[in-house]
Amino acid sequence: MSIVLKMEGITKIFPKVIANDHISITLHKGEVHALLGENGAGKSTLMNCLYGLYRPDEGKIFIKDREVVIQNSDDAIKNGIGMVHQHFMLIPELTVTENIILGLRQSRAPLLDIDEAGRKIKELSERYHFNINPHEKIKNLSVGMQQRVEILKVLYREAEILVLDEATAVLTPQEVRELFGVIRKLVQEGRSVLIITHKLEEVMGLSDVVTVLRDGKVVGNVITKKTDPKELARMMVGRDVLFDFHERHAEVGKPIMSVNDISVTDKKGVRKLRNLSFSLHKGEILGIAGVDGNGQVELSEVITGMLPFTGGNITIKGESFGALNPRIVYEQGVSHIPQDRQHTGLVLGMSLMKNLILTDYYHAPYSKNNIIDYDLVDDHAADMIKQYNIKAPTTETIASELSGGNQQKIILARELCREPDILIAVQPTRGLDIGATEFLRQKLIDQRDNGSAVLLISTELEEILQVADRIAVIHEGQFMGIVRKNEVDINELGLMMAGNMRSPSDSICEGE
Ligand SMILES: Nc1ncnc2c1ncn2[C@@H]1O[C@H](COP(=O)(O)OP(=O)(O)O)[C@@H](O)[C@H]1O
Ligand SMILES: [Mg+2]
């Protein structure tokens, strides 16, 4: 197959990091080429160099053997390169057609062009079964549909090379399958596609070849059929990734928190939690499984004191509370890894070192007489960066500049270094790559083995099966059963997740 694109020795240096270090890749006609790497490996930077958003410090780009200089996205488009970004670049108030022709040079009167553009967009939409109305406003479209508009935009400009940056991150499994179908059609038609991803299943399921990046360098280039997920993971992370945790050795202890018959009703009068009861024991990980949106968020907010509940009570370390607030919960030795790390978990505009003391800045050792000891805070941050392997240039780095995995590590460091008795972790690995996921799961296990209690709320069943000792399945705000992990199979859990209550006689199992 002929070569359509060659990037040779691309180097891009940011003030504190070499994001791309002499990277070379070759893309052939009709090929799906995966660019695989952990968060921060340099994938987006490389593609931004290709699309003219960044200027590389070194290196050459060839389109079909001809060297090109790409100064901006217009140059990229002229060279047949189209990019669908990780974050969409659409204007919500404008229609599909307006968004697609925005920024294109018009040869004729704008009104005429709009009609013509609308027709061409409709044609394209039909060809790829996109089911998009060119006159619909972007704000009325689902995320999956908006992504299709981004793809249409690229096809409208007649791109021969399509770049998709983490395209599946925002899609449901169903939409992912449809997107894969579209990509297959595109390459059958002779176009070439570069997919950027950190997900091994995507690489295995879609690509012809894979280039693996680590720390800004190419560490491997293999034909997908000739490799396997294990080898790819090893290249990506730089060591074997086992996901193979030791059997528990700590004994399950006494209950440390119990939730007794609590309910939550939202503002519209809808019951979000119905008479939930469970107890959490020292030295165990209790997993709360369930399909997203079945009361998990409400449950986590209730037990962390963020959401009031009706009826019942919550007992923490023997003390019973009819109402909670975050301060009480916190001072009882409860730590919390919230679902939304960017809003609840961190102050994104603040430095890493300040984020690390968000919850404890007001008392010793960080403060004396209301004055924060910044030397100490700085030392503490340096220590945490080391212990938690946070990839950040300095303790003063602003949280928003770090990758998702490293942001999550800040939260983890902050919440664990106070040695909590109870850890509430909500979707702790969402959006993280393999290395960071494995690291986080191991920390949950370490907590348990040190005798703490861990409540893990996750919509990923695989995650729950990997680390939990007991599993409670939540459906429409109710528990369908609480079971020991070794006494249940996936089918049974699936049935509970779909709303089938386990028979009452064995539905609740207590930790020993
Ligand atoms: N505009 C920028 N300024 C400074 N550093 C950046 C910028 N963009 C990316 N980086 C850094 O470059 C490295 C590679 O980032 P990126 O290409 O976004 O990785 P990936 O897409 O593989 O997750 C990271 O260390 C990141 O922090
Ligand atoms: Mg990226």
How many whole angstroms from its chain centre is CA 401? 16
d(CA 221, CA 35): 9
The answer, yes or no, to whether residue 99 has pLDDT greater than 80, is yes
* CA-proximal residue: ligand 1, atom 18 (nearest): 44
Q: Report which of 165, 197, 178 is spatially closest to residue 128, judged by C-alpha positions.
A: 178
Residue 402 alpha carbon to ligand 2 centre in Å: 11
Do both 164 and 46 map to the same domain? yes
Gap between the Cα atoms of 207 and 32, Å rounded: 5
C-beta of residue 195 within 8 angstroms of C-beta of residue 33: yes
Residue 338 and residue 448 in one domain: yes
Mean pLDDT of 108-124: 79
For residue 63, give the nearest of 46, 76, 48, 49 by alpha carbon: 76
308 within a domain of the structure (yes/no): yes
Check pLDDT > 90 for residue 85: no
Residue 243 lies in a domain: no
397: Cβ below 6 Å to ligand 1? no
Alpha helices in 93-140 (DSSP H): 96-101, 110-127
Give yes or no: residues 210 and 315 share one domain.
Answer: no
Pairing of strands 217-223, 285-289: unpaired
Q: What is the pLDDT of residues 35-63, one digit of tens each?
A: 999 878 999 999 999 999 999 999 999 99
**Predicted pLDDT of residue 411:** 92
Distance (angstroms) between ligand 1 centre and the Cα of 362 equals 34
CB 29 within 8 A of CB 5: no
Distance of CA 43 to the CA centre of its chain: 16
- pLDDT score of 453: 97
In sequence order, the 6+-apart residues with CB closer than 8 A to the CB of 167 are 84, 147, 179, 195, 197
Distance CA 83, CA 232 (A): 25
pLDDT tens by residue, 176-213: 888 999 999 999 999 999 999 888 888 999 999 999 99
In tens, the pLDDT along 370-407 reads: 888 889 889 999 999 998 888 889 999 999 988 888 89
Is 249 part of any domain?
A: no
Q: Cα dihedral angle (163, 165, 169, 175), rounded to 10 degrees?
A: -10
> Nearest-CA neighbor of 325 among 357, 303, 295?
303
% of the chain at pLDDT higher than 70 = 93
Q: Do 11 and 157 sit in the same domain of this protein?
A: yes
Average pLDDT over residues 239-256: 71
Residue 33 resides in a domain = yes
Reading the block at residue 156, the tokens are 């409208």
Rounded CA separation 415/338 (Å) = 10
> Ligand 1 pocket: which of 10, 11, 14 to mutate (most atoms <8 Å of CB)?
14
> Which one is predicted more confidently, 479 or 237?
479
Pocket test for ligand 1, best of 403, 409, 433 (most atoms within 8 A of CB): 403
Residue 16 and residue 134 share a domain: yes
**pLDDT (mean) for 412-441:** 88
Find tokens 């968004």 and name the residue: 99
Q: Do the Cβ atoms of 334 and 421 come closer than 8 Å?
A: yes
The H-assigned helical ranges of 335-459 are 352-355, 374-387, 404-416, 434-449
- Pick the range with the lowest mean pLDDT from 219-228, 229-238, 328-337, 473-482: 229-238
In a domain, 49, yes or no: yes
Last residue of a domain, one of 237, 268, 285: 237
Using 50, 70 and 90 to split pLDDT, how confident is the model at 512?
very low
Our answer on whether the CB atom of 407 is closer than 6 Å to any ligand 1 atom is no
Reported as a pLDDT band with limits 50, 70 and 90, residue 259 is: very high
279 lines ligand 1 (CB under 6 A): no
Q: What is the pLDDT of residue 508?
A: 56
The rounded distance, in Å, linking the Cα atoms of 270 and 289 is: 21
Domain endpoint, select from 190, 209, 237: 237
Same domain, 219 and 264: no
Q: Atom 16, ligand 1: which residue's CA is nearest?
A: 42
| Ion ligand 2: residue ranges with CB closer than 5 A | 44
Least confident of 18-32, 147-161, 244-258, 292-306: 244-258
Query: Of how many residues is the chain composed?
Result: 512
Query: Higher pLDDT residue, 144 or 54?
Result: 54
The verdict on 392 and 483 lying in the same domain is yes
DSSP conformational letter for 137: B
Which ligand does the CA of 48 lie closest to?
A: 1
- On whether both 153 and 295 belong to a single domain, the answer is no
What pLDDT was estimated at residue 278?
96
Residue 495, domain extent: 255-506
Q: Ligand 1 test: best mutation among 45, 49, 86, 402, most atoms within 8 Å of CB?
A: 45
Identify the band that residue 115 occupies on the pLDDT scale cut at 50, 70 and 90. Answer: confident
The residue whose C-alpha atom lies closest to atom 8 belonging to ligand 1 is 45
Read off the DSSP letter of residue 92.
T
> CA nearest 60: which of 111, 125, 9, 128?
9
Please give the number of the atom of ligand 1 that sits closest to the Cα of 48.
17
Confidence of residue 337 (pLDDT cuts 50, 70, 90): very high
Q: Are residues 436 and 384 in the same domain?
A: yes
Helix (H, G, I), strand (E, B) or coil at 22: strand
Domain-embedded: residue 164 = yes
Same domain, 213 and 282: no
In the structure, what pLDDT confidence band is assigned to residue 358 with cuts at 50, 70 and 90?
Answer: confident
pTM above 0.85, yes or no: no
Above 70 in pLDDT, residue 509?
Answer: no
Residue 68 within any structural domain of the chain:
yes
Give the CATH number, domain containing residue 411: 3.40.50.300
Distance from first CA to last CA of the chain, Å, rounded? 63
Residue 455 Cα to ligand 1 midpoint, Å, equals 33
Q: Which of 57-66, 105-114, 124-133, 246-255 has the lowest mean pLDDT?
A: 105-114
**Which atom of ligand 1 lies nearest, measured to the CA of 165?**
21
Q: How far is the CA of 19 from the centre of ligand 1 (A)?
A: 6
Please state, in angstroms and rounded to a whole number, the distance separating the CA atoms of residues 39 and 371: 37
Looking at the structure, tell me whether residues 262 and 187 fall in a common domain: no
116 domain residue, yes or no: yes
Distance, CA of 104 to CA of 345 (rounded, Å): 41
Contact 465, 491 (CB under 8 A): no
Residues 231 and 269 in one domain: no
Q: How confident is the model at residue 504 (pLDDT cuts 50, 70, 90)?
A: low
| Boundary residue ending a domain (178, 202, 237) | 237
Picking from 339, 244, 268, the residue whose alpha carbon sits closest to that of residue 298 is 339
* Ligand 1 close to Cβ of residue 36 (< 6 A): no
* Domain total in the chain: 2
| H or E element at residue 173 | helix 173-188
Average pLDDT over residues 147-162: 93
From CA 230, how far away is CA 33, in angstroms rounded?
19
